[in-house]
A = this chain, B = another copy of it.
Amino acid sequence: MKFCTLCGNKLILRIPEADDRERHVCNACGHVHYLNPRIIVCAIPVWEDRILLCKRAIEPHYGLWTLPGGFMENDETTQNAASRETLEEAGASIEVHDLYSMFNVSHINQVHLCFRASLTSPRFSPGKESLEVGLFSRDEIPWNEIAFATVESTLRQYFADMPTKEFPLKLGDVIIGPDKRRIIRAHNFIHDES
């Protein structure tokens, strides 16, 4: 971030008045440019005892499987974002239910939200960001080919909760381990790596 979006002049890093941390401030017009975390929203689209997954046709993690999801846009709700992404990536219509998981992914300034959802019919087809889309039971999930740590943890918890029919919210962080592997730090559940 080098230039002001409002006037095109150079930005400097300084602590604005009544603030306590460095921001990108325009030397000419004085505008302060804040940088804030972004929200990624996923759906957990369920049909009977199976969950709809997408095989990614884009980087990062081309060829690995994930829940339908993506960046929340302006002018939509978190639930709308879950529906829109499911339609775009998996060609599927869903009814969105409660929030199921929320993970802080601080090293890339993201917060990941996953909503429980029901497919309104077992119809789906890959969108342009997906190579393939399919319904998977717990035993059918390609556990070694899941794209994101937050998605894998959410799926494991979801299948563990399924027999109880209760789905309390799961909170956690993704942190970077010494070998650069993503590690789940669970706040209110027992993280299952098996």
Chain B residues within 8 Å of A138, by CB: none
Q: How far is the CB of A42 from chain B (nearest CB, A)?
A: 15
With known contacts A36-B38, A109-B74, A8–B18 Cβ distance under 8 A? no
Instruction: List A residues 20-38 near B (Cβ within 8 Å).
Output: 20-21, 33-38
Q: How large is the interface on A (under 10, 10 to 19, 20 to 34, 35 or more residues)?
A: 35 or more
Closest to A6 in B: B2
A111 interface neighbour in B39, B73, B104, Cβ under 8 Å: B39
A71 contacts the other chain (CB 8 A): yes
With known contacts A102-B78, A109-B74, A3–B2 Cβ distance under 8 A? no
Contact between chains at B6 and A4 (CB < 8 Å):
no
Interface residues of A (CB under 8 A from B): 1-11, 18, 20-21, 33-39, 71-79, 88, 98-99, 102, 104, 106, 109, 111, 128, 169, 171, 173, 187-188
